[in-house]
Amino acid sequence: AQTVTQSQPEMSVQEAETVTLSCTYDTSESNYYLFWYKQPPSRQMILVIRQEAYKQQNATENRFSVNFQKAAKSFSLKISDSQLGDTAMYFCAFMRAYNNNDMRFGAGTRLTVKP
Amino acid sequence: ETGVTQTPRHLVMGMTNKKSLKCEQHLGHNAMYWYKQSAKKPLELMFVYNFKEQTENNSVPSRFSPECPNSSHLFLHLHTLQPEDSALYLCASSQDRGWSNQPQHFGDGTRLSIL
């Protein structure tokens, strides 16, 4: 079974600074997908960024980028130039690439961006 | 504007009540999911429907009864719940449970409180 671990329950960052959220996972699969979701106080889970395990290049979406270390089974999220609107819960998620590809989520990291 | 709509947004009920949660997706997806989100815990997958067929029941107590009349609608019928069932219940959809690279889209959730 796959497990996803987010070791930082809460983090804070000053507006305009950079913050990195950690995620590790455990799997015996060689092909899979990793995601970061954001859940603001409005509660809707929003997909922030995704990474295919077979791609060596780290995914980037505007101010959001990941550091994917497949051998270490690590998938951290870096938020650059943090904005107040980035305040939210962030969930790391793992999905197998084959049948029964349900997502497995970490417990989340609560990020607060301070003015 | 979310493609997955959940109603009601909030629900308070007694342990002997019967109520239902509703989820509707407007994305043309074929797979729908129910998750339970409790504080400081990973999202717990409860049920999965793929093309209206239940493909996953994650050892959920029988006091939770899902129903999927078509690929666009998903219900969660509640009966004789316990205080520990108080949580945020999230609905999600994806293109197809068998597709390997399609992330899930989430609704805003129903905040359920059991008195």
CA angle B85, B66, B48 (to 5 degrees): 95
Please return the burial class of A10, using the count of CB atoms within 10 Å of its CB with bins 0-12, 13-18 and 19+.
Answer: exposed
Residue ranges with strand state E in chain A: 3-5, 10-14, 19-21, 24-26, 32-39, 46-52, 60-61, 64-69, 74-79, 88-96, 103-105, 109-114
Mean of pLDDT over chain A? 92
Q: Is B98 on the interface with A (CB under 8 A)?
A: yes
Rounded Cα distance between A35 and A94, Å, is: 6
Listed residue (A34, A114, A108, A113) closest to A74, CA to CA = A34
Contact of A90 with A36, CB cutoff 8 Å:
yes
- What are the angstrom distances between the C-alpha of A98 and each of A45, B29, B77? 23, 18, 30
pLDDT at A103 over 80: yes
Q: Is B105 on the interface with A (CB under 8 A)?
A: yes
Non-local (6+) Cβ contacts of A64 within 8 A are A36, A48, A49, A77, A78, A79, A80
Q: Is B41 on the interface with A (CB under 8 A)?
A: yes
pLDDT of residue A44: 86
Contacts with A9 from chain B: Cβ below 8 Å: 40
Q: Which of B42, B104, B107 sits opposite A107 (nearest CB)?
A: B42
Contacts with A43 from chain B: Cβ below 8 Å: 88, 108-109, 111
The tens place of each residue's pLDDT in chain B, 115 residues long, gives: 569 999 999 999 988 889 999 999 999 999 999 999 998 788 899 999 988 888 877 789 999 999 999 999 999 999 999 999 999 999 999 887 765 567 889 999 999 999 8
pLDDT of residue B98: 65
Residue B82 Cα, gap to closest chain A Cα (Å): 23
pLDDT of residue A100: 58
- What are the angstrom distances between the C-alpha of A13 and each of A24, A39, A47, B21, B112? 21, 17, 21, 37, 31
Q: How many CA atoms lie within 13 A of B80 on its CB side?
A: 3
Least-confidence region, from A39-43, A81-85, A87-91, B96-100:
B96-100
pLDDT of residue A61: 93
Residue B97 Cα, gap to closest chain A Cα (Å): 6
pLDDT of residue A101: 61
Query: Cβ contact (<8 Å) for B42 and A4?
Result: yes
Query: Cβ contact (<8 Å) for B101 and A91?
Result: no
Contact of A77 with A30, CB cutoff 8 Å:
no
Listed residue (B93, B108, B96, B86) closest to B15, CA to CA = B86
Q: Once rounded to an integer, what is the mean pLDDT over residues A78-97?
A: 94
What are B35's two structure tokens? 């998750």
Q: Once rounded to an integer, what is the mean pLDDT over residues A60-84?
A: 96
Query: Cβ contact (<8 Å) for B100 and A100?
Result: no
Q: Once rounded to an integer, what is the mean pLDDT over residues A101-107?
A: 83
Q: Once rounded to an integer, what is the mean pLDDT over residues A96-109?
A: 80
